[in-house]
Structure 1
Amino acid sequence: MRIDRRSLMAGSAAGLASIWLGGCATGAAEGAAPAFITRRGQQLLRGGAPFRVVGANMWYAAWLGADAEYGNRPRLLRELDRLAKLGLNNLRIMAAAEEGPLKNAIKPGMTRADGSTNTPLLEGLDFAMAEIARRGMTAVLVLSNFWEWSGGLQTLLARVTGSHMDMGDPAHPWPAFADSTAQFYANREAVELYHAHLTSLVSRTNTVTGLPYADDPAIMSWQLANEPRPGGSDAAIAANRESYLRWISESAALIRSLDANHLVSLGQEGTQATNGDAVLVADAHNEVDYLTAHIWPLNWGWVKGDDLPGTWPDGRAKVVDYLTTHADIARTLDKPLVIEEFGFPRDRESYDPAASTDFRQLYYQTIYDAVEESWANDGPVQGSNFWAWNGEARAAHPDYAFRDGDLAYMGDPPHEPQGWYGLFDTDAAMLQAVRAHAAKAKG
């Protein structure tokens, strides 16, 4: 039985600036030095012009960028070239990973199990950011993870309490893991560990460019965590509400005290993270600059992988409704919205790169149509990031599992089937859909 996080929950700074490719970021003049991304009401702006997010998730960029046995800088350059050629201007990448006792957490992490810093991996992030900037692209830097695959909040909690819970443990079925991890927000020692990494990274100077991260226009936003939830059960969500909101407020304030140039985002899925509580979603985004929403039709039971033809129509209707709900929340808050994770399986839920993607194409077009309509009508939806980029990587084993020591990192995290959701460099129809969407962003 497959266990995964979603199915269980139903140069120098001047040199870089001088070669910035203005055409990769909507609204900037050709050849101009990059400006910081800002917001005005429901719009994202760069250089005073609309910034339309055309992005992908590429959590593993720092790992490829490391000058270490697990790194692969030539591949990173090839992948970034491919993405820039498609017209993408934004990547969402992990800027934290915590080693510890969780069995499904990737190793190495950016902090070791004893809390010490893994310098080569952080320098891999420096290298990745330098190359992202060199291509005129931007990045969302994610500062932790609610889920186990990068260690995350559960690992920080374990460093304080000495105990932990593994996602998918049969002795602790859903929502036990989410309820356990959400205890992090009220644990001041664990939050201090999180704030220590946040402070170190936001205050960091890039060892490749010599540019402080706080002064790097290639950073679109600092993101508090990947999919932080207040809990899994209704009771836990209610009990953790105040500590959850306090963590968001304190962390956002800390970032702004260290860096006045960049946006702050939360990384929340939306109402799926709050068991349908739209008020809590709105409250959670009061102290950040823009809203996020993630949409997973298969994992949330809206479609069935073995019957996509029969379940897609109803699934599509739920997707459209989810988009509408979160656009309405964004309008109420007068803030932008980015659909920063959306994923869909290949036909028949195959993991084989040769399998067709007819229904994935329909899904992507549903998201892209909503984004493009918002662009055309000055709506709050400012763009999207598909999940995720696999590029030239291929599964190393016939069962599509990731094993310790594998180095062909994909957008599909190591605990999930390799090839489940990511786009490969050979997915011609999907790449054309992304390319066409990117072209409209520049129109």
Structure 2
Amino acid sequence: MMWKRRSVLGAGLAGGAALVLPGCVASKADKSGFITRQGSKLLRGDEPYRITGANMWYAAWLGADTEYGDRARLMRELDRLKATGINNLRIMASAEEGPLMNSIKPGFTHADGTANKALFEGLDFAMAEIAKRDMTAVLALSNFWEWSGGLQTLLWRITGEYVDNGDPDHPWPEYGDATAQFYTNEAARALYNEHLDAMVGRTNSVTGKSYADDPAVMSWQLANEPRPGGSDAMIEKTKDAYYDWIDASFARIRALDPNHLVSLGQEGTTSANGNEEIVLRAHANADYLTAHIWPLNWGWVKGDDLAGTWATGEKNTRDYIAVHQRLATQADKPLIIEEFGFPRDGEKYSPDVPTTFRQRFYGEIYSAVEKSWTDGGPLIGSNFWAWNGEARAKHEDFRFVNGDGAYMGDPPHEPQGWYGNFDTDADMLALVKANADLAQSLASKAEG
């Protein structure tokens, strides 16, 4: 969206300085219903807020009153999740249309930068329904990866150049290094700020309530998995600009909305090629730390030999959790494992394939979370990736095609059914519900 303030905002906020935007008045709502932070805890009112969550990136698309939307399905999916004990959803509040091969269309902004009103209003509808069910949402304002356009597309709008992730002529880490140039490009950052201002400063068209005054928003998140680069050389080159973008964006959000938490959306040490110092510095002004865990994507297990490689995946998962609990303790901030995913048996995609090893993997995550709950540790919850619900792949090759309306948790660049849980995955849903039931039991004991 092109705003007249672009020339004013393009300079950014060096060092994360405070910001007052023309015509914007920071809200001072009663914060009793909002999620707040106290040390390594999240609170709702005076009680601990434990996250029993899921990822549902496509909520705004279903909420749109268009040919690609499906509001009735959105409400059914939210009812299913609520019945399973889910209290928090991580969803996309952005998508940038452009030339990238696998990016979702439509987006929140068209290729020329103008706003897609229908998708903004789709998010409004989704947030209104989330609030009705006493759930909260983490709203991501962009993406490091190509599947929603993201930072690479913002760069393309300025430079006219782009790199497709997975292009054999540009193997990794070229995509990561190319996208990291966003942090040093002030014009691309100005485009990001335009969407941030439009979203954080928005009034919900369904409820008439400003997003800043809506307790259903738990956190604004700068982007999905923003990395400082792909190669060690690029990370070293761009890390200071990366920190500046993070701090400036947090300050900008807080100036518009002092009521809500802010988060980065980082995977953890994997995002920084193992550098713990970068993770801590990147989260210096965040309200909580995040970790994402992907054993198959990271080579810890093999999809065609999950039984033979499980022991390595299990050990690495436990070690990764332990590292991030230590970092969260050091920072005195909460930790959320806000993405974790594992394939079905044999790395198949159909909902009729068993989930034997996925159940084991979820068990590892939930065991760590539950131990932290009972021991008073910093790991306060998790969001599994992701919710497919009643959606089913439309094509025999399980690939998404632009124009498909059966949105599911597996984004358009991935096989449909790779990581998402369907409404028929009874064993998986039982695990999720058991985790949520424990959280509710702990809350009830505290109230008693």
TM-score computed with the length of structure 1 as normaliser: 0.92
CA positional deviation for 1:439: 0.2
Say whether 1:270 aligns with 2:260. Answer: no
TM-score computed with the length of structure 2 as normaliser: 0.91
**Residue 319 of structure 1 aligns to a residue in which SS?**
helix
Stretches of structure 1 that go unaligned for 5 or more consecutive residues are: 1-32
Residue 62 of structure 2: aligned partner: 64
Say whether 1:312 aligns with 2:305. Answer: no
Residue 26 of structure 1: aligned partner: none
Read off the aligned partner of 2:413 and give its amino acid letter: H
Out of 205, 220, 224, the residue aligned to residue 226 of structure 1 is: 224
**Residue 414 of structure 2 aligns to a residue in which SS?**
coil
Read off the aligned partner of 1:52 and give its amino acid letter: R
CA positional deviation for 1:170: 1.1
Read off the aligned partner of 1:221 and give its amino acid letter: S
Residue 336 of structure 1: aligned partner: 334
**Quick one: distance in 1 between partners of 2:369 and 2:217?**
22
Q: Where does 1:7-406 land on structure 2 (aligned, <5 Å)?
A: 35-406=33-404
Read off the aligned partner of 1:286 and give its amino acid letter: A
Deviations 1:386-432 (A, max 9, x none): 00000000000111001111110000001100000000000000000
**Residue 246 of structure 1 aligns to a residue in which SS?**
helix
**Quick one: distance in 2 between partners of 1:48 and 1:146?**
35
**Quick one: distance in 1 between partners of 2:154 and 2:171?**
21
Read off the aligned partner of 2:378 and give its amino acid letter: P
**Quick one: distance in 2 between partners of 1:404 and 1:292?**
31
**Residue 138 of structure 2 aligns to a residue in which SS?**
strand
Read off the aligned partner of 2:295 and give its amino acid letter: P
**Quick one: distance in 2 between partners of 1:412 and 1:322?**
23
CA positional deviation for 1:154: 0.1
**Residue 391 of structure 2 aligns to a residue in which SS?**
coil
Q: What RMSD over aligned residues (CA atoms) do the two structures have, in Å?
A: 0.7
**Quick one: distance in 2 between partners of 1:93 and 1:404?**
20
Read off the aligned partner of 2:333 and give its amino acid letter: K
**Quick one: distance in 2 between partners of 1:210 and 1:260?**
19
**Quick one: distance in 2 between partners of 1:108 and 1:280?**
34
**Quick one: distance in 2 between partners of 1:337 and 1:229?**
18
**Quick one: distance in 1 between partners of 2:172 and 2:225?**
16
Stretches of structure 2 that go unaligned for 5 or more consecutive residues are: 1-30, 442-448
**Quick one: distance in 1 between partners of 2:86 and 2:68?**
26
Residue 428 of structure 1: aligned partner: 426
**Residue 353 of structure 2 aligns to a residue in which SS?**
coil
Read off the aligned partner of 1:311 and give its amino acid letter: T
Deviations 1:124-150 (A, max 9, x none): 000000000000000000000000000
**Residue 220 of structure 1 aligns to a residue in which SS?**
strand
Read off the aligned partner of 2:307 and give its amino acid letter: P
**Quick one: distance in 2 between partners of 1:83 and 1:395?**
20
**Quick one: distance in 2 between partners of 1:159 and 1:310?**
46
CA positional deviation for 1:34: 6.7
**Quick one: distance in 2 between partners of 1:258 and 1:100?**
28
Q: Percent identity?
A: 66
